[in-house]
Structure 1
Amino acid sequence: MAHIYLYSPSGAVRDKAGFRRALKRLQAQGHDVEVDPAALASHQRFAGDDDTRLAAIERAAASGAQVLLTTRGGYGLTRLLHRLPYEAMARSVEQGAAWIGLSDFTALQLAALARQGMPTWAGPALMEDWAGEQEPDDIMQACFDDLITGVGEGTGWRLPAADFKAHPWLAGEAGWAAEGAVLWGGNLSVLCALLGTPYFPAVEQGILFLEDVAEHPYRIERMLTQLLHAGVLGRQRAILLGSFNRYQLTPHDRGFNLQRVIDWLRGQVSVPVLTGLPFGHVPTKVMLPVGRPVDLYVQGREALMFWGD
């Protein structure tokens, strides 16, 4: 199977039992799992101080592993963006390495894309997806396996009925397509934090996907407004929304919820806003090739995305 290198570029791993459980699961699948020496380091809320986490990324880039998998997200990578070993990371990709993660990992992904045009994968993280007491999600595991075996060529999902009320032309016989568009995005909060910096990719006519966790809908709208006023949203061919979860509405909201935000967004842009993308801080997630051209097709209620050669 695969040589997997586990490293911790962001938050500290507190659940040591979950870490061991996740490690055993990957090993039971036949993978050669190499654990970075600082994977369980701790400094304040981080997996070691900045130098420690930077050294872990450098070791990952030099490991020769097929898969470079983060242990978890949290916070910490934006502190390192001006020091990342971009050339070494890009060389590892040229040699066949896949950098995989989500959440705070979005900072590394977008910075690598902006600085080197380097593709990465939005996908699972060790603690998020293999450490729980329940078995890993079947779809997540299948998508991960497809990447490792080199047979992954795309993904798909069923669009909610609300998407057709907002975009009735999607239901036409001809459907809708965006071909050869660069897929990019990730965690909305992290992405917005990079706006106006050298680490924000200047993607034109791309497909932007977004997700977030523990952010109230009004904060989600505020971040989308920032991207709107900065001209980012209007320069895309489509906006894909994954999971936005683990937030709490209050009586003060008076009906202001996530769907209201989506409705508002659709009134601000002329491109399709498609929901239901199986990605985010949820068990069922697909693999997404950040920084690579993809073909997106909508036919009926089926959305299909292809990136295979």
Structure 2
Amino acid sequence: MKRRPFIKTMAMGTTAIFTTSNLNANATSTGKKEKTIKPKGLTKGDTVTLIAPGGPVNDQKIELSVKNLEDLGLKVKLSKNVRAKRGYMAGTDKQRLEDLHAAFADTTTKAIWCVRGGDGCNRLLPLIDYDLVKENPKILIGFSDITALINAIYRKTGLVGLHGPIGAWDFTDFNKEHVNAIVFDGGAGHSIDGTDKTITLAEGKATGKLIGGNLSLLAALAGTGYDNDFKDKLVFIEDVGEKPRKVDRMLTQLRQANNLKKASGIILGEFADCNPGEGDVSLSLIETLKDRLLDLNIPILYDFPFGHDKNLCTFPMGVEVELDASKKRVTLKENATL
């Protein structure tokens, strides 16, 4: 995944300091299926903490993140190390892990919002204190590289994470409508309709728990113990900057390693800049998607509004939804937050 530069940030205080010994905490390493845990929803005036668990952020992105969340009626804290930088990451693994742990441990923080995606979240997965997360469930939201965090945390604890706008994204009316429906109102009965760009690749209806995220990250997680089984799930997938031959390889990986071939339905987002270049000997993106997915004989939508699109809905991991591919609609069958 070649990520576009996108970032933002906010001001936060932490109530916990984590020593080096916490780096090696991974209390739930068995990979057993965990009972779904739903985080508490937000109310106006609640405090959220901004973290940068992946790529580095700048002041402009932090300021945009703070403004976006304050416009939602929330108070904002910045994590201790949010401005840290180490090459293509927002500080060392220890610094980024410290901020994640501190945000979960902080009783004044009601949600954790990622400023951006970027690179490096998968490095943290073996180091996360999953017992801490399980004992202090709260909203964690972001997309792109954050796919690694929300998938691993769901696998290890059962906590519903939100695949939604990062703090430094454009909070369009569309984005605010769909994030508010879940973080403030729970989400049960909320419907998300496709846009004029959305294409039905395979008709039909399907139900199942939502699982998914960025294709590059999902493929990287395959076989690590931090991934999820797609059998009987509604799988949502997006990416950016990957050519068809790489999309083919990663979808094949998910078919072989994660039971994508046994999913109940598939929702494909925007795959920006994923068509072959001029002169490339290649299938087109849409030909590749059809070639790898249509033989599954399940409902499939393409170019649904989520992922690296200006308008992106919020998808809760592990929540029961219905896909109506004919109507280009996804409907939450239960609350994602309490």
TM-score if structure 2 supplies the norm length?
0.79
Query: Following the alignment from structure 1 to structure 2, what is the Cα–Cα distance between the partners of residues 126 and 98?
Result: 14
Question: In the alignment, what sits opposite 2:181?
Answer: 146
Structure 1 counterpart of 2:136, from 66, 89, 92: 92
Q: Residue 21 and residue 266 in structure 1: after superposition, are their counterparts in 2 closer, same or farther (change >3 A)? A: closer
3-state SS in 2 of match to 1:184? strand
Query: Following the alignment from structure 2 to structure 1, what is the Cα–Cα distance between the partners of residues 213 and 197?
Result: 24
Q: For the Cα contact (< 8 Å) 2:195–2:305, is it kept in 1?
A: no
TM-aligned CA deviation for residue 199 of structure 1 = 0.8
Cα offsets for 1:217-267 (capped at 9, x unmatched): 221111111222336211210111011113463233356221111221234
What is the count of residue pairs matched by the alignment?
289
> Structure 2 matches for 1:292-303, cutoff 5 A?
292-298=319-325, 300-303=326-329
Cα offsets for 1:56-105 (capped at 9, x unmatched): 11011112322210111111111111111212212222xxx211010111
Query: Following the alignment from structure 2 to structure 1, what is the Cα–Cα distance between the partners of residues 239 and 199?
Result: 20
Question: In the alignment, what sits opposite 2:93?
Answer: 50
Q: For the Cα contact (< 8 Å) 1:159–1:301, is it kept in 2?
A: no
| Greater share of residues in helix | 1
Q: Residue 88 and residue 187 in structure 1: after superposition, are their counterparts in 2 closer, same or farther (change >3 A)? A: same
3-state SS in 2 of match to 1:58? helix
Structure 1 counterpart of 2:227, from 179, 194, 200: 200
Q: Give structure 1 regions of 4+ aligned residues with deviation exceeding 4 angstroms.
A: 159-164
Question: In the alignment, what sits opposite 1:272?
Answer: 299
Question: In the alignment, what sits opposite 2:25?
Answer: none
For residue 214 of structure 1, what is the amino acid of its counterpart?
G
Q: Residue 36 and residue 275 in structure 1: after superposition, are their counterparts in 2 closer, same or farther (change >3 A)? A: same
3-state SS in 2 of match to 1:252? coil
TM-aligned CA deviation for residue 159 of structure 1 = 7.0
Q: Residue 137 and residue 194 in structure 1: after superposition, are their counterparts in 2 closer, same or farther (change >3 A)? A: same
Q: Residue 17 and residue 236 in structure 1: after superposition, are their counterparts in 2 closer, same or farther (change >3 A)? A: same
Q: Residue 295 and residue 115 in structure 1: after superposition, are their counterparts in 2 closer, same or farther (change >3 A)? A: same
TM-aligned CA deviation for residue 113 of structure 1 = 1.8
Question: In the alignment, what sits opposite 2:217?
Answer: 190
Query: Following the alignment from structure 2 to structure 1, what is the Cα–Cα distance between the partners of residues 76 and 211?
Result: 28
TM-score if structure 1 supplies the norm length?
0.86
Q: Residue 261 and residue 36 in structure 1: after superposition, are their counterparts in 2 closer, same or farther (change >3 A)? A: same
Q: Residue 301 and residue 61 in structure 1: after superposition, are their counterparts in 2 closer, same or farther (change >3 A)? A: same
Q: Residue 231 and residue 291 in structure 1: after superposition, are their counterparts in 2 closer, same or farther (change >3 A)? A: closer
> Structure 2 matches for 1:65-76, cutoff 5 A?
65-76=109-120
| Residue 177, structure 1, aligned to residue 213, structure 2 | no
TM-aligned CA deviation for residue 200 of structure 1 = 1.2
CA RMSD across the alignment: 2.2
| Residue 26, structure 1, aligned to residue 69, structure 2 | yes
Question: In the alignment, what sits opposite 1:122?
Answer: 163
Query: Following the alignment from structure 2 to structure 1, what is the Cα–Cα distance between the partners of residues 291 and 256?
Result: 14
- Percent of counterpart pairs with the same letter? 28
For residue 144 of structure 1, what is the amino acid of its counterpart?
V
Structure 1 counterpart of 2:154, from 102, 108, 113: 113
Structure 1 counterpart of 2:260, from 224, 233, 242: 233
Q: Which runs of 5+ in 1 are unaligned?
A: 131-135, 171-175
| Residue 77, structure 1, aligned to residue 116, structure 2 | no
Query: Following the alignment from structure 2 to structure 1, what is the Cα–Cα distance between the partners of residues 98 and 141?
Result: 18
Query: Following the alignment from structure 1 to structure 2, what is the Cα–Cα distance between the partners of residues 110 and 54?
Result: 16
